[in-house]
Structure 1
Amino acid sequence: MRLFDFDGTLVDSNGVWEEIDRAFLARRGLSPTREYSEQMGHSIFPIAAQITKDFYHLDLTPQAIMAEWLELGWQAYAHQIPMKPGAAGFLERCAGRGEDMALVTACVPRFCQAALERHGLTGYFRAVVYVEELGVEKRDPRAFRMALERLGVQASECTLYEDSPAACAAAKAAGLTVVAVYDPFYASYEQQLRRSCDGYLKSFTELLG
């Protein structure tokens, strides 16, 4: 079974979240640091909101922070975010071969659904596992074990495509075959990912021949 991350792997959205962070913090005279951004990368929504509240000592509830993020992010996912190069073609090829596919994503469910529908991808995946619903982050191997249990498959049967170094490490610890996918946000981790993962793609176009 082929498993795919969504943000930064199939769609070019990591930059959007950087913009959302900047806009949210700028409203309060603040700016994101690299340390903050590293903590936020691929965190599930409620944990990311708590990180933001604690890191910047904000007088806001996590619920209020999430509501503002939803306001800032909806337009991008529903109307703007593009696919990563070659991703649509690779999914189409896999589907044409009858391969079983699923998403395992930390994306906000309604954002993900909007982008999937806009790009005509909903029919490609047998299931979408939203890590937010599992209650653990993708940097935790338990997230992948729980996702596999939901999908009814064994780790040895699956290959994951993922951009986040922390999520790649967690998936490897859970026993999956992992192919890292380049994203500019994690460009400095390329050599580490090449060493630790089973494969590394600069782009899905490499798989299309």
Structure 2
Amino acid sequence: MADSRQQVGRGASQTANVGKAAIFDLDGTLLDSMGIWQEIDRRFFARRQIDMPADYASAVASMQTGAIARYTIERFGLREEPQALVDEWNDDAQLLYATAVQPKPHALQYLASLKASGAKLAVATSLPPRLRQAALEHAQMTACFDHVCSVDDAQSIGKEEPTIYLLAARQLRVEPADCTVFEDLLVAVRSAHRAGMKAWAMYDESSAQDWPTIEAEADGAIYDFAQAPATL
């Protein structure tokens, strides 16, 4: 594992120039948020005295919140409304994102170097507005981005579709071919490619089982933003 990490990062620099634009996912990419969602899921299932399946987190990782609620209700036979689940998760997440979430290693430095290079930066996230705003403020990233958009803004079912990346490119006024996407999910890497963009993968434990495939399909793969590309 150590050798792989060294090879990925070889020649990288924090003085970066990624061309015209970079588009970043939040959960699992810029933010080390796996522990937060583990705690939210733990609280949710504990309240209902349900054992959480081992595959639940990976099954819902690429979905937007409304889709996760519908999936959860159907899978576990819950007699609840989707919005009630969304509200419960948001209430738990609001506190944790505002007080506990941390950036991935060297994320802030890398964003600063991109900004200094003149690159345009956007967020493309599945998080709802109040959570992404709380997270960006707590992680001190708010001023880094020219635009922030979500799958809801793109009227998309999730990152299985390239719609959100194309929306971010339009907001930045940059052609898709001039955009580089940073993501942690296999479906997101594939969608970024379908949008005509480069895709760099950030390792996250939530997608560890897909990591060999992600490494094979992404344009580059990193464990730390100190390894992120100096040029693309």
Of the three residues 43, 63, 67, the one matched with 1:47 is 67
- What displacement does 1:16 show? 1.3
Question: What secondary structure sits across from 1:180 in the alignment?
Answer: strand
Alignment of 1:4-153 (within 5 A): 4-136=24-156, 137-153=158-174
Q: Which residue of 2 aligns with 1:197?
A: 218
Question: Where does structure 1 differ by over 4 angstroms across 4 or more consecutive aligned residues?
Answer: none
Select between 31-40 and 189-198 the one with higher mean Cα deviation. Answer: 31-40
The verdict on how the C-alpha distance between 1:192 and 1:208 changes in structure 2, with shifts beyond 3 A counting, is: closer
- How far apart, in 1, do the equivalents of 2:183 and 2:39 lie? 21
Question: What secondary structure sits across from 1:132 in the alignment?
Answer: coil
Question: What secondary structure sits across from 2:170 in the alignment?
Answer: helix
Cα pair 1:105 1:131 within 8 Å, conserved? yes
Question: Aligned letter for 2:37?
Answer: W
Cα pair 2:199 2:219 within 8 Å, conserved? yes
Question: What secondary structure sits across from 1:34 in the alignment?
Answer: coil
State the aligned residue count: 209
Question: What secondary structure sits across from 2:55 in the alignment?
Answer: helix
Cα pair 2:124 2:150 within 8 Å, conserved? yes
Select between 57-66 and 109-118 the one with higher mean Cα deviation. Answer: 109-118
- How far apart, in 2, do the equivalents of 1:151 and 1:49 lie? 31
- How far apart, in 2, do the equivalents of 1:3 and 1:133 lie? 15
Q: Which residue of 1 aligns with 2:202?
A: 181
- Share of identical aligned residues, percent? 32
- How far apart, in 1, do the equivalents of 2:139 and 2:163 lie? 30
Q: Which residue of 1 aligns with 2:16?
A: none
- What displacement does 1:208 show? 8.6
Higher relative contact order (CA 8 A, sep 6+): 2
Decide which structure has greater helix share: 1
RMSD: 1.7
- How far apart, in 1, do the equivalents of 2:101 and 2:161 lie? 27
- What displacement does 1:179 show? 0.2
Q: Name the TM-score, length of structure 1 as normaliser.
A: 0.93
- How far apart, in 1, do the equivalents of 2:52 and 2:190 lie? 25
Cα pair 1:129 1:147 within 8 Å, conserved? yes
